[in-house]
Amino acid sequence: MLDLKLEKKDLPFAMAEEIKNLRTGITFCGADIKTVLFTSCSPNEGKSTISLETARSFAELGKKVLYVDCDFRKSIFKCKIVDGRIGRGLTHYLTGQCELDDVIYCNASRDDAEFYVIPSGPSSKSPTELLASDRFKELIDRLRNDFEIVILDTPPLASVVDASIIASIVDGSVILVEAGGVNYRIVQKVRDKLASSGGRILGVVLNKVDTTKKRYSYYKYGKEYGYHYGEN
């Protein structure tokens, strides 16, 4: 197993606390929740950052955690690496070019001894077909047995259907929404797409909340970030 060293940001206190609250919310959804999908409505809402920090937060509890980058279109995971190199990724595995052990990387940070990642690999011309394949379904079952929590970072659902395909085979889904950045009708459409897949929606994360604005005055988490997480 190869090592990668991921960047570790010093999060604002309020954001760090809300990541912990999100972790707790997922935990309280039930002991059967082990594979969790994160999606958003549109790009640049902060989904990849929040999903990666949530995975790291579970690892800080001593759990064996895996973060899976399922964005075969416009992955930004490489930007999170400060040391090491990606050889093969998820697309290599799903196309039968390597074994699973060849695509699981250990985060080299001493603080996250049980934090592992699977990068997406090269972009694919047929991402939908790869995600709908039996090989991907078998992979999810295997990861569910090998890890205590698996966080899957997927593309925005308002743009492509990838997340709804994955939602049907994971234990639960979380929708991330940028406060004031997305029309509520689009959020409803994303929710409906997830629901129609038959997957369980665990809740919604409201990101980039400006608590100085009156309409968000019920948040008490500082000036830069705020989150809401709850059962639908």
pLDDT of residue 73: 87
pLDDT (0 to 100) of residue 1: 65
How is the chain split into domains, by residue range? 33-77+130-216
What is the CATH number that goes with domain 33-77+130-216?
Answer: 3.40.50.300
Quote the pLDDT of residue 210.
Answer: 65
Asked if 105 and 90 count as a contact pair (C-beta separation under 8 A), the reply is: no
Report whether 7 contacts 81 (CB < 8 A). yes
Strands 115-118 vs 65-69: parallel, antiparallel or unpaired:
parallel
Asked whether the beta carbons of 177 and 45 are under 8 A apart, the reply is yes
Where helices occur in 71-151 by DSSP H, the ranges are 90-94, 127-131, 134-146
Instruction: State the average pLDDT for the chain.
Output: 84
Strands 149-153 and 172-178: unpaired
Q: Using DSSP bridges, classify how beta strands 105-107 and 115-118 pair: parallel, antiparallel or unpaired.
A: antiparallel
Using a 10 angstrom Cβ sphere, with 0-12 exposed, 13-18 middle and 19 or more buried, the burial of residue 220 is exposed
Residues 165 and 131 sit within 8 Å (Cβ to Cβ): yes
State the pTM of this model: 0.86
Question: What residue ranges of the chain have pLDDT lower than 50?
Answer: 214-232
107, β-bridge pairs: 4
Question: Residue 86: what pLDDT?
Answer: 87
Distances from the Cα of 215 to the Cαs of 14, 180, 204, 219, in angstroms? 19, 10, 18, 10
| Cβ(2)–Cβ(212) below 8 Å | no
3-state helix, strand and coil shares in percent for the chain, rounded to the nearest 5: 35, 20, 45
- What is the separation, in whole angstroms, between the first and last Cα of the chain? 39
Q: How many CB atoms lie within 10 A of CB 133?
A: 15
